[in-house]
């Protein structure tokens, strides 16, 4: 009993100074809806936590220096080879630090899953329309996290100074040099001299472990706080409206599920790190400007950027004594524009549909065929460019001419997204008609019945009320919201949803 009273007094002391009881009563019982797709955001968060923890461990042993040393370590094939301190310390982490190789691979796998999780998470928000008012700012925070994550990955795999990462750094240097007028100055400033420079690893190290992670951590906190501030979105269903949230409380139900899921994500990443080799820098050797790795490819999330450069014709023009390398400059302009389109899409959709209402109920993608078609077109363009980034591997594996592959990708860049949009939109409209048939006629049972006058018909089972409500909920919101605004005595204006077909 004495221990209980002491605990109460301690809790009262903190509550009197920090208001913990009021905060806990308000937020610890906050309701969260339950749907498997919401776990995508948790995968991003938990992967980020693993990245931070493993990154802190790796910084204790990594030396971000381009100074040349002669390697004398436990990896015999490279003994006596001249290399940078950065590469030598990476070998030391891999072969001599206890658990170093496991942590290195865990860090790299977590990075891949983190970016994949962010992209998938954003696409889930895109296709369900959860980016709409009042969540546009939070969408921008998520988009910035994805954008920064791409460059964080680039800086990270450039640090070991192996032959593969050096080849990628040569690509970055070429992109900077293609910028008209100031390209040379940008390259010299980043590298600390002519390629490969003396300061690039140290500068990338500062960006990778300090600047970008700090910005990303702030964005993650802001992102989560806005999720808490705005009530959580939910899919349509009985009892779910724009004014409530149906689900389980944060404490203890959601917290227990989230804690268990963290260890599940961590366990899968650890399993991958233990059994699947990734980025074996010892197999590539130290970077030398006169060598290039065979089949060199960036990590998957930057493959589309390389695809833009590989399929672009090698156009060059001379303008007032300056050579404009359009074959590189145009792709590096298109690269951020592709990402920027996704970032500003919520504002474009709101402008064209003239929809300024708040939305807390998610859309089924089939009920927004235009938006779903645009998303499918964007993803198809990304996949086409990803194939273009590996045109040499595609040509080798399929025994084709690399020129044939390159031209096929060039044509596909314009054709495939258009076809994907049209086909996806038609599929969505077809699924809408199927839902309408289910609502009106019920579900097929496979039972054939003969009518008294001799006709054979199939017996259909009517849908239950909950299912009917879910399938027809997207036809109700505009009228319901208008009635809530104008009051029960006013009629809501009628008319089709501007994005329903």
Which CATH number covers residue 314?
A: 1.20.810.10
318 or 56: which carries more pLDDT confidence?
Answer: 56
pLDDT bin (cut points 50, 70, 90) of residue 43 is very high
- The yes-or-no verdict on residue 494 having pLDDT over 50 is no
Q: How many CB atoms lie within 10 A of CB 95?
A: 13
Q: Which residues contact 212 (CB under 8 A, 6 or more apart)?
A: 148, 151, 152, 155
Whole-number pLDDT of residue 366: 93
Task: Answer left, alpha or beta for residue 487, where phi above 0 means left and psi between -120 and 50 means alpha.
Answer: left
Select from 280, 74, 303, 71 the least CA-distant residue to 160. 280
Mean pLDDT of the residues in the chain: 86
Q: Band of the pLDDT at 35, cuts 50, 70, 90?
A: confident
CA-nearest of 389, 160, 401, 178 to 297 is 389
Given this model, what pLDDT does residue 82 score?
92
CA distance 87 to 105: 16
Length of the chain (residues): 501
Over 50: is that where the pLDDT of 102 sits? Answer: yes
Task: State how far the alpha carbon of 273 is from the alpha carbons of 103, 132, 165, 167, 224, in Å.
Answer: 8, 38, 20, 24, 28
pLDDT at 294: 59
Question: How much is the pLDDT for 54?
Answer: 96
At residue 490, does pLDDT exceed 70? no
CB 131 within 8 A of CB 139: yes
Q: What is the mean pLDDT of residues 234-258?
A: 83
- What count of Cα atoms within 13 Å lies in the side-chain half-sphere of residue 388? 26
pLDDT of res. 482: 44
Nearest-angstrom CA–CA distance, 339 and 169: 21
Spatial distance between the Cα atoms of 281 and 290, rounded to a whole number of angstroms: 18
Name the 3-class secondary structure at 246: coil
Q: Mind giving me the DSSP string for 423-454? A: HHHHHHHHHHHHHHHHHHH-EEEEEEEE-TTS
Please state, in angstroms and as integers, the Cα–Cα distance from residue 131 to each residue in 123, 127, 208, following that order. 10, 9, 29
* pLDDT given at position 1: 54
Q: What does each C-alpha distance from 463 to 17, 336, 443 come to in angstroms?
A: 56, 47, 7
- Band of the pLDDT at 32, cuts 50, 70, 90? confident
Rounded-to-integer distance, Cα 130 and Cα 352, Å: 17
Tell me the mean pLDDT in the region 345-365. Answer: 91
What is the token pair recorded at 117?
């999780």
Q: 274 falls in which pLDDT band (50, 70, 90)?
A: very high
Predicted confidence at residue 80, as pLDDT, reads 92
Residue 276 CB burial class (10 angstroms; 0-12, 13-18, ≥19): exposed
Which band of pLDDT confidence, cut at 50, 70 and 90, is reported for residue 26? low
* Lowest-confidence segment of 87-91, 167-171, 261-265 by average pLDDT: 167-171
- 24 lies in some domain: no
Which among 229, 213, 239 is positioned nearest to 466, based on CA atoms?
239
Tokens of 498: 């501007």
Q: Please state the separation of Cα 355 from the chain's center in Å.
A: 26
Q: Give me the pLDDT at residue 317, please.
A: 85
In a domain, 250, yes or no: yes
What phi, psi does 234 have (nearest 5°)? -150, 155
In this structure, is residue 52 part of a structural domain? yes
In a domain, 162, yes or no: yes
Predicted TM-score (pTM) of the model is 0.87
Higher-confidence position of 174 and 111: 111
Q: Is residue 465 part of a domain?
A: no
Please identify which residue in the block is written with the tokens 């042993």.
Answer: 61
Whether 129 is covered by a domain: the verdict is yes
The C-alpha atoms of residue 168 and residue 195 are separated, in whole angstroms, by 12
Domain of residue 159, residue span: 33-363
Residues 161-199: tens digit of each pLDDT: 998 888 888 888 888 888 888 888 888 888 877 787 778
Q: What was the pLDDT predicted at 491? A: 37
Contact status, residue 250 vs residue 28, Cβ threshold 8 Å: yes
Domains: count for the chain: 1
Asked if residues 87 and 281 have their Cβ atoms less than 8 Å apart, the reply is: yes
Residue-level pLDDT at 287: 87
| DSSP string of 132-149, one letter each residue | STT-HHHHHHHHHHHHHH
Q: What is the mean pLDDT of residues 282-293?
A: 82
Question: pLDDT band at residue 37, thresholds of 50, 70 and 90?
Answer: confident
Whether 428 is covered by a domain: the verdict is no
Q: What is the mean pLDDT of residues 401-407?
A: 93
Largest CA distance in the chain: 96
Residue 28's contacts (CB-CB under 8 Å, 6 or more residues apart) are 249, 250, 251
In a domain, 501, yes or no: no
């Amino acid at each position: 009993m004495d221990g209980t009273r002491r605990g109460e007094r301690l809790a009262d002391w903190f509550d009197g100074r920090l208001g913990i009881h009021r905060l806990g009563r308000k937020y610890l019982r906050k309701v969260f809806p339950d749907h498997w797709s919401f776990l995508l955001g948790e995968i991003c968060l938990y992967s980020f936590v693993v990245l931070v923890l493993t990154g802190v461990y790796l910084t204790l042993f990594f030396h971000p220096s381009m100074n040349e040393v002669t390697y004398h370590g436990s990896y015999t094939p490279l003994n006596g080879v001249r290399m940078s301190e950065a590469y030598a310390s990476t070998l030391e982490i891999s072969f001599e630090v206890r658990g170093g190789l496991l942590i290195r691979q865990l860090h790299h796998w977590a990075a891949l899953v983190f970016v994949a999780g962010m992209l998938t998470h954003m696409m889930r928000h895109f296709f369900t329309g959860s980016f709409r008012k009042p969540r546009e700012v939070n969408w921008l925070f998520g988009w910035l996290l994805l954008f920064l994550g791409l460059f964080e990955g680039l800086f990270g795999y450039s640090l070991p100074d192996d032959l593969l990462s050096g080849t990628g750094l040569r690509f970055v240097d070429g992109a900077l040099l293609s910028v008209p007028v100031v390209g040379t100055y940008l390259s010299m400033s980043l590298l600390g001299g002519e390629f490969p420079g003396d300061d690039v690893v140290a500068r990338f190290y500062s960006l990778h472990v300090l600047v970008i992670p700090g910005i990303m951590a702030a964005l993650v906190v802001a992102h989560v706080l806005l999720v808490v501030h705005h009530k959580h979105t939910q899919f349509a269903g009985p009892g779910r409206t724009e004014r409530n949230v149906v689900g389980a409380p944060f404490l203890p139900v959601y917290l227990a599920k989230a804690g268990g899921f963290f260890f599940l994500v961590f366990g899968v990443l650890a399993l991958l790190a233990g059994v699947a080799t990734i980025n074996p820098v010892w197999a590539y050797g130290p970077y030398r400007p006169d060598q290039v790795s065979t089949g060199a490819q960036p990590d998957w999330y930057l493959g589309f950027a390389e695809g833009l450069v590989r399929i672009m014709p090698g156009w060059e023009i001379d303008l007032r004594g300056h050579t404009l390398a359009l074959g590189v400059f145009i792709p590096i302009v298109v690269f951020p524009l592709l990402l920027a389109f996704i970032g500003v899409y919520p504002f474009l959709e709101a402008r064209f549909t003239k929809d300024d209402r708040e939305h807390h109920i998610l859309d089924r993608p089939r009920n927004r065929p235009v938006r779903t078609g645009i998303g499918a077109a964007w993803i198809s363009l990304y996949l086409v460019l990803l194939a273009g980034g590996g045109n040499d591997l595609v040509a080798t594996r399929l025994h084709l001419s690399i020129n044939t592959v390159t031209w096929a990708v060039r044509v596909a860049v314009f054709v495939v997204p258009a076809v994907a949009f049209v086909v996806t939109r038609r599929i969505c409209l077809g699924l809408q008609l199927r839902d309408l048939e289910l609502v009106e006629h019920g579900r097929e049972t496979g039972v054939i019945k003969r009518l008294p006058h001799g006709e054979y018909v199939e017996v259909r089972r009517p849908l239950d009320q909950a299912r009917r409500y879910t399938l027809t909920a997207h036809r109700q919101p505009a009228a319901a919201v208008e009635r809530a605004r104008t009051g029960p005595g006013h009629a809501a204006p009628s008319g089709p949803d501007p994005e329903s077909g």
